[in-house]
Structure 1
Amino acid sequence: MSSADLPADAPQGPTRPPASVSAAAFVSSLDRFAISPLLVLVAVDLGATLAESLTIASAYFLAYGLSQPVWGVLSDRFGRIRLMRATLFAAAAAGVVSALAPDLATLVIARSFAGAFFGAVVPASLTYVGDTVDEAHRQPALADLMAAIAVGTALATALAGMLGELAHWRWVFAVPAVLAIGCAIGLGRLYEPPREAQAGLVATVRSAVRNRWVLVVVGLAFVEGAVVLGVLTLLAPALQSQGIGAVGAGLATAAYGLAVVVTSRMVRPVSRHLPMPGLMAIGGVAAAAGYALLAVHVSIATVVVTALLLGVTWSFLHSSLQTWVTGVLPQARGTVVALFAGCLFAGSAVGASAGGAVADAQRWMALFAVTAAVALLLTGGVVVARRAYENRLLG
């Protein structure tokens, strides 16, 4: 939607996401990435193995991903802001149950619900940007939103390790619950943009899944989720397997969020001179290089460097995929973005689960070598696919 399509009383020509939307995405990210430095602590406290405690993360990611088609349809029918407010309140309740969980089974169930409800926030915020920001400004606006998400990521991994080790891991789940309530209240003052008339639930979903380019983009998102988010969850446990404490592991992996904050500022100027396939190539090669480094040696230094490179991946590759998906089928944007996010986090669940099985056997080098190879294949795939899409538009 262009600014000319908005009513007279609506914000005119926005080029950045509203602060309240960015805050909601920040809290969603804070909750999502807090688990990584806690996995070993939870395992020890609840008498579980690392593989068993990893089900907390994989169940969260899986619920996050599987819930996306539902949120996408509801977003298209009832509005982005209404959906975010309702799910933030529900996520807060799930967070409280997580903080009070007496055993691993209860914690896994509570985190699943938290993942499902927080899962509505980021895709709805992305769709809101797609609804209100002109296409010419959309990728920089999405990069701004990603910066807020990245701050949540950085604080999650850094503070979760400190809170978990110095206080208790339960506090890490309580903090996002409180913040979610504040965000839900703050969103109540935000303008809800008009949506295009919907053809009906079945017709909307059918139009999305029958579009070849929608399937291509969400398929690439699945692989990206496994490579970036899934294996990223294992960076802190990899350090802890070397005897590094939760605080050190959390601070090392926090470099990822800091890198996204910095490099997301670079997307706007670089995109003026480099087409989207070039941005994708930068991000994909960065991921492959980072994991290749870890395949040689795991230490605080190599994890920090890899986390920084994955931040580059998120800023350049993921923002490009996000921009692509918001424009591929505008009449079903909420549904398509939800499918995209669903595949991204389904992939992250698969990556965390498969990687956890390898990590439990202490085969860290093999895990990172395979991930580096998959990252290279992903890079080639996204560049070729995007060029084909652009050629189709020009032809």
Structure 2
Amino acid sequence: MSSPELPSPLIRPPVAVSAAAFVSSFDRFAVSPLLVLVAADLGATLTQSLSVASLYYLAYGISQPLWGALSDRFGRIRLMWLTLFAAALAGAVSAVAPDLITLIVARAFAGAFYGAVVPASLTYVGDTVAEERRQPALADLMAAIALGTASATAISGLLADWLDWRIVFAVPAVLAVLCSFGLMRLREYRPETGSGMLSTFRSALTHRWVLVVIGLAFVEGAVVLGVLTLLAPALQSQGIGAGAAGLATAAYGLGVIITSRFVRPLSARMSMPRLMTLGGCAPIIGYVVLTIHISLATVVIAGLLLGATWSFLHSSLQTWSTSVLPQARGTVVALFAGCLFAGSALGAAVGGPMGHGDHWSVLFGSTALVMAILTVTAVLSRRAYDRR
């Protein structure tokens, strides 16, 4: 039986939900400044150590359909606190992993369990915030996610330089346990779906516009999150230490935090296609700058601009995913997140060998081109959706 409706619509996500999304994001992005150190400590190449990140993202992505269906059936809050406990255990194993294989497996399990948190939190906002207020509320949640990203890349690099890279995996494990207790205090919300898991998946995967939205998310994951993972290694290839590289990459999170404050006023004045255009143009400029030269300054610039695309383009796609098929919202959002992070795994897997071969200009130049194609496709698709 479903829980009763909330007594009044929310206008922003609860603190406990934002905190859980923060921890999930922290764990996901903390690895970027560690890849070179992990490779050196465990006797691996950069390409091999990139498996720690790419398999995490892959597990994060392919687990999404399961989590989405379970959240539709059993509730968002319950799913989040259970998976946070499991993710904490995987994080503890990561912190004591004796070799690269053990670390890769532990991180894959961590990715799978943390994978439930962000889509469930996004769906919870979709369930509890009215559609006309949803994009600003989602932007607030993504600001918390971005804060996790920024603090992860900054703090993990410093901890690795000053202490040990293993501590970085223990920190989110402890935070995950604390967040799970906070979530237990929230009231559950689970709408009646009236259909089973298989029929819900069928309705989502045969819906034209669901396929369009999740396809756009896949490409976005590759060219934004996948390549974002490689910014710190790109700096380290220039002889810059993990701490400085992590701090520079943290500009992405700072960019999201700053630009997300503009989503609420801009969404009231601009159509979604225009917000998408604004968000899509920003990373193109950033990648062109990196194509010309890689330095602390250019990575900071690119990171800030990638933050803008997360606030404007990604928040638009995310809002679209919460409304395209409301009766299967949890499943659609999970498919969206799954495709996003499957794309990020592909982006990191393809970009890693290019970086290992020191072909950074080719990587960033080709990414700028794909980003331009993605932006045009997203804008035209949304305009067609609005005219349907």
For Structure 1 versus Structure 2, the TM-score category normalised by the shorter chain is over 0.9
Matches of 1:358 and 1:41, distance apart in 2? 19
What's 1:219 paired with? 215
The alignment-based identity, stated in percent, is 68
Matches of 2:330 and 2:83, distance apart in 1? 16
What's 1:290 paired with? 286
What's 1:119 paired with? 115
Matches of 1:305 and 1:299, distance apart in 2? 10
1:272 maps onto 2:268 in alignment: yes
1:202 maps onto 2:198 in alignment: yes
Secondary structure at the aligned position of 1:283 is classed as: helix
Following TM superposition, by how much is the alpha carbon of 1:196 offset from its aligned partner in structure 2, in angstroms? 2.1
Moved over 6 A (4+): 6-9
Matches within 5 A, 1:340-359: 340-359=336-355
Following TM superposition, by how much is the alpha carbon of 1:7 offset from its aligned partner in structure 2, in angstroms? 8.7
Match of 1:52 among 44, 48, 52: 48
Matches of 1:72 and 1:223, distance apart in 2? 20
Matches of 1:8 and 1:145, distance apart in 2? 24
Matches of 1:210 and 1:194, distance apart in 2? 24
Secondary structure at the aligned position of 2:10 is classed as: coil
Match of 2:129 among 130, 133, 147: 133
Matches of 2:193 and 2:302, distance apart in 1? 45
CA displacement 1:41-85 (0-9 Å, x = unmatched): 101100110000000000000000000000000000000001001
Following TM superposition, by how much is the alpha carbon of 1:8 offset from its aligned partner in structure 2, in angstroms? 8.3
Relative to the length of structure 1, the TM-score reads 0.97
Secondary structure at the aligned position of 2:269 is classed as: coil
Is residue 80–residue 117 contact of structure 2 (8 Å, CA) maintained in 1?
yes
What's 1:331 paired with? 327
What's 1:240 paired with? 236
Is residue 74–residue 190 contact of structure 2 (8 Å, CA) maintained in 1?
no
Instruction: Note the aligned Cα RMSD (angstroms).
Output: 1.1
1:89 maps onto 2:68 in alignment: no
1:383 maps onto 2:362 in alignment: no
Aligned residues: 387
What's 1:40 paired with? 36
1:23 maps onto 2:19 in alignment: yes
Q: CA 1:23–1:244 in structure 2 vs 1: closer, same or farther (change >3 Å)?
A: same
Following TM superposition, by how much is the alpha carbon of 1:11 offset from its aligned partner in structure 2, in angstroms? 4.1
Relative to the length of structure 2, the TM-score reads 0.99
Secondary structure at the aligned position of 1:292 is classed as: helix
What's 1:3 paired with? none
Secondary structure at the aligned position of 1:272 is classed as: helix
What's 2:359 paired with? 363
Gaps of 5+ in 2: none
Matches of 1:142 and 1:92, distance apart in 2? 25
CA displacement 1:259-306 (0-9 Å, x = unmatched): 101100100001111100000011111111110110111011100000
Match of 2:72 among 73, 76, 80: 76
Secondary structure at the aligned position of 2:262 is classed as: helix
1:281 maps onto 2:269 in alignment: no
Q: CA 1:128–1:9 in structure 2 vs 1: closer, same or farther (change >3 Å)?
A: closer
The aligned amino acid for 2:69 is: V
What's 1:172 paired with? 168
Matches of 1:222 and 1:197, distance apart in 2? 26
Matches of 1:117 and 1:357, distance apart in 2? 28
Is residue 275–residue 316 contact of structure 2 (8 Å, CA) maintained in 1?
yes
Matches of 2:6 and 2:54, distance apart in 1? 40
The aligned amino acid for 2:91 is: G
Following TM superposition, by how much is the alpha carbon of 1:197 offset from its aligned partner in structure 2, in angstroms? 2.6
1:309 maps onto 2:309 in alignment: no
Is residue 221–residue 343 contact of structure 2 (8 Å, CA) maintained in 1?
yes
What's 1:144 paired with? 140
Matches of 2:67 and 2:197, distance apart in 1? 12
The aligned amino acid for 2:66 is: V
Is residue 198–residue 204 contact of structure 1 (8 Å, CA) maintained in 2?
no
Q: CA 1:7–1:54 in structure 2 vs 1: closer, same or farther (change >3 Å)?
A: closer
Gaps of 5+ in 1: 1-5
The aligned amino acid for 1:171 is: I
